[in-house]
Amino acid sequence: MRLVRHVVDLPHDDLANGSVVTIGAFDGIHLGHRQLLRRVVDVARDSGRPAVAMSFEPTPKEFFSGDNPPARLMRFREKYEALAKRKIDIFFCPRFEEAMRDIAAADFIRRILIHGLNTRHLVVGDDFRFARRREGTVEDLLRVGPALDLSVEQVPSILVGDTRVSSTAIRDALAGHDLQRATALLGRPYRMSGRIVRGRQIGRELGYATANVDLRRRQSAVMGIYAVRVHGLAEGPLDGVASVGTRPTFDLTKPLLEVHLFDFDRDIYGEYIHVDFIAHVRDEEKFDSVEELVAQMQVDEDNARAALLANPA
């Protein structure tokens, strides 16, 4: 999959016969996103055109939220890897800034969809809006489509029970520690990925060595102690207990993902892991002494083991 960050860098030779495009934040690549992406790839393969996913970095919600953005379900690398896995050919991800914020709907269609991407078929969700103040609608696209040789297809939302699948609904489920609901909306357990870095060795000193992963997020969708299942190591999926937070007992401030793998002892610094969140164990809290913390960590391990037994891989 080819990553393109600027309109001028789009591969015009590859797009000469047109493209099949979808547009969205794609945060989490949940069931609804996957339905859109499947449709884009199917149409692209049938027509002999490249499949394009267009998104923005930062996301529009992050841009407009200032210092208090919504929690990201995926950081950029995770999104890139997920789109590549879905057989997208081109990931077009321009920077969202003032010029993009102020672009009129007609200019967005002309400059980006037609002149930039040479879009011949556009696949969008049933809530799709675009351009300045979200003024652009599917009706606008359908109205001008015939003159531009552009067809537009709306894909209906997916419902799980009575809930429309969306990144917002998943954030709400995670914030409420409802991992079962988040898993149902995502179609898989919620996951964080990253490279293991050296920490302050606090866990090892306490008898609970941890694999530390920088969150690389301004806000985390999960906070607290969780039963987790870790992928990406040679030993295969491994069970563990993880902490996401600032370790208040030690008065630290930088949020970190720390994973203690059960019955495991190997140097894994520098390796890239995927941490699936299976069940919430408890909220993060500050203890009066290290001894109290260590005693609670043993309880956390027991509870995480029980939760993982109840939720086999």
**124 beta partners:** 154
Name the amino acid, one letter, at 274.
H
Cα diameter, the chain: 73
Residue 184 inside a domain? The answer is no
Q: Tell me the pLDDT of the chain (313 aa) as tens digits.
A: 999 999 999 999 999 999 999 999 999 999 999 999 999 999 999 999 999 999 999 999 999 998 889 999 999 999 999 999 999 999 999 999 999 999 999 999 999 999 999 999 999 999 899 999 999 999 999 999 999 999 999 999 999 999 999 999 999 999 999 999 999 999 999 999 999 998 665 655 556 778 999 888 888 999 999 999 999 999 989 999 999 987 765 556 678 899 999 999 888 999 999 999 999 999 988 888 888 888 999 999 999 999 999 999 8
* Cα–Cα dist 290/191, whole Å: 30
Could you tell me if 71 and 206 lie in one domain? no
* Cα–Cα dist 80/94, whole Å: 13
Could you tell me if 201 and 154 lie in one domain? no
Helix (H, G, I), strand (E, B) or coil at 105: helix
Could you tell me if 232 and 85 lie in one domain? no
* Cα–Cα dist 155/164, whole Å: 13
| 3-state DSSP helix/strand/coil % of the chain, to nearest 5 | 35, 25, 40
Could you tell me if 23 and 151 lie in one domain? yes
Instruction: State the first-to-last Cα distance of the chain, in angstroms, to the nearest integer.
Output: 30
Could you tell me if 110 and 205 lie in one domain? no
Q: What is the DSSP secondary-structure string of 26-40?
A: -SS--HHHHHHHHHH
Could you tell me if 125 and 228 lie in one domain? no
Residue 168 inside a domain? The answer is no
Taking the alpha carbons of 74, 180, 279, 273 in that order, is the dihedral positive or negative?
negative
Residue 165 inside a domain? The answer is no
10 Å CB burial of residue 154 (0-12, 13-18, 19+) is: middle
Q: What is the DSSP secondary-structure string of 33-59?
A: HHHHHHHHHHHHHHHT--EEEE--BS-
pLDDT tens-digit map of 56-74: 999 999 999 988 899 999 9
Could you tell me if 155 and 7 lie in one domain? yes
Taking the alpha carbons of 17, 23, 26, 29 in that order, is the dihedral positive or negative?
negative
Helix (H, G, I), strand (E, B) or coil at 172: helix
Could you tell me if 45 and 145 lie in one domain? yes
Q: What is the DSSP secondary-structure string of 231-244?
A: ESSTT-SEEEEEEE
Could you tell me if 126 and 39 lie in one domain? yes
How many angstroms separate the Cα of 23 from the Cα of each of 69, 112, 146? 20, 11, 20
Query: What's the token pair of residue 100?
Result: 């993009």
CATH at residue 72:
3.40.50.620
Helix (H, G, I), strand (E, B) or coil at 203: helix
Query: What's the token pair of residue 159?
Result: 């419902």
Could you tell me if 88 and 136 lie in one domain? yes
Residue 172 inside a domain? The answer is no
pLDDT tens-digit map of 172-214: 999 999 999 999 999 999 999 999 998 665 655 556 778 999 8
pLDDT tens-digit map of 90-101: 999 999 999 999
* Cα–Cα dist 77/216, whole Å: 10
Domain that holds residue 279: 190-310
Angle of helix 167-175 versus helix 179-186 axis, rounded to 10: 160
How many angstroms separate the Cα of 74 from the Cα of each of 83, 125, 221, 229, 255? 12, 20, 9, 17, 16
